[in-house]
Amino acid sequence: MGGKAARRLLMALGVGFVMTPVALGLGVVLLIATFSDDDTSVGNPIGGLRIGGGGVPSAYAPLILQAAADCSEGLSPAVLAAQLKQESGFNPSARSGVGAQGIAQFMPGTWATWGVDGNHDGKKDVWDPADAIPAQGRFMCSLLKKAKAHPDYNGAPIELALAAYNAGWGRVDQYKGVPPPSFAGGQTYHYVQNIMKMSAAFAAPASSEDGTLPAGYELPVGTPKQVRIAVAWALKQRGGWYHLGGDCTDALGKDPAHWCDCSSLVQQAYRAAGIGIPRTTYEQINVGTQVDIDHPKPGDLVFTPGSDGSDASPGHVGMYIGDGLLIEAPRTGLKTRIVTYSSWRNSTSYMTRITQVRRVVDW
């Protein structure tokens, strides 16, 4: 956070920076691999979700994570991912013989009720994953809430929700649980079983103590070496506590003076890459080249106004790391973490909505 804005906000609220919408819910965490100075690979599974080979296509991972985070019922992103695999094989143009449409296979009548304009382009398009995946999450969240109200039914709440998505809640009521194999040739029964089994493959493994996990997520081909180093360095600070005014020279150490705040995190990341940038958000907003907020690239600095900031004097900064994700040191009481870019881009609050994106290294 920029110095003056941070201090005024602390005086007003007794805390650091205002949380993003994702922070107010489940948050999104990136489990990362350790790096040597020459290692330019970046990370692995995100938020309990595996991406890349054998996992979720990277284009859909942020949408799935956001859909899960938007549900207050504890909806698993791995289950949503497995459901999309079962429904369409992640094919946004899929159409079933009975008329189900799109990546989440909505019937037209169901879409009329549950469809959303997820990308805020003025349309609710069942063929657009940016609309269909949030709608899937919204529908599943409602079904999961309903399922939890029936603890006597046969099946876990998530299994009841999946069965209702496939066959309708009326069938779940009829059988007081997941319909048995005798119903409709076992189609719904096996639908639920397949998704629950697949969800284990889409789920990220638990992090080991040192945070080392198999590689599974990489920066795009052509990413400049300086950007690769800066992103890799920033990711190594994940899990370090926020400290306003901390210089971010020992984020995982014991001395708060060397923990990170938002602007020192990105400053030190680029220092590791041999690039000097200023210390505060007020100064960092003038670094590099301003770029389209809808077309960020890894390494870009992403700014929001903060409670007393402005376009010209922002109060918060994060670093875009690709695949719809960014890393931030959020506020006092929270650790450096990964959140979805869309949670900043589409925030309903001006304080946490992106005001500008700056590219430090042109490419």
- CA 258, CA 290: separation in Å to the nearest integer? 30
Which pLDDT does position 165 carry in this prediction? Answer: 98
How does the average pLDDT of the chain come out, rounded? Answer: 82
Which pLDDT does position 348 carry in this prediction? Answer: 60
Residue 313, pLDDT above cutoff 80: yes
- Give the residue with greater pLDDT, 3 vs 297: 297
- CA 3, CA 66: separation in Å to the nearest integer? 31
Sign of the alpha-carbon torsion through 46, 239, 302, 217: negative
Which pLDDT does position 276 carry in this prediction? Answer: 97
Residue ranges of the domains in the chain?
A: 3-47+218-359, 61-202
Tell me the fold of 3-47+218-359: endopeptidase fold (from Nostoc punctiforme) (3.90.1720)
Which pLDDT does position 69 carry in this prediction? Answer: 83
Per-residue pLDDT tens digits for 99-149: 999 999 999 999 999 999 999 999 999 999 999 999 999 999 999 999 999
CA distances from 193 to 180, 200, 203, 253, 271 (A): 11, 12, 16, 45, 50
- Give the residue with greater pLDDT, 20 vs 48: 48
- CA 350, CA 306: separation in Å to the nearest integer? 8
% pLDDT > 70, the chain: 81
Which pLDDT does position 113 carry in this prediction? Answer: 97
Helices (H) and strands (E) counted in the chain, each on its own, are 13, 6
**What number is the average pLDDT over the span 9-23?**
29
103 touches 133 (CB < 8 A): yes
| Position 293 confidence tier, pLDDT thresholds 50, 70, 90 | very high
| Position 47 confidence tier, pLDDT thresholds 50, 70, 90 | low
| Position 308 confidence tier, pLDDT thresholds 50, 70, 90 | low
Residue 31, pLDDT above cutoff 90: no
Q: CATH number of the domain at 61-202, please?
A: 1.10.530.10
Concatenating the DSSP letter of every residue in 192-222 gives HHHHHHHHHHHSPPPPPTT--------PPTT
| Position 60 confidence tier, pLDDT thresholds 50, 70, 90 | very high
- Give the residue with greater pLDDT, 338 vs 189: 189
- CA 110, CA 107: separation in Å to the nearest integer? 5
Task: Report the candidate in 361, 358, 363, 318 with the shortest Cα–Cα distance to residue 342.
Answer: 318
| Position 279 confidence tier, pLDDT thresholds 50, 70, 90 | very high
Which pLDDT does position 161 carry in this prediction? Answer: 96
Which pLDDT does position 317 carry in this prediction? Answer: 96
**What number is the average pLDDT over the span 252-273?**
97
Per-residue pLDDT tens digits for 160-178: 999 999 999 999 999 999 9
% pLDDT > 90, the chain: 59
**What number is the average pLDDT over the span 26-54?**
42
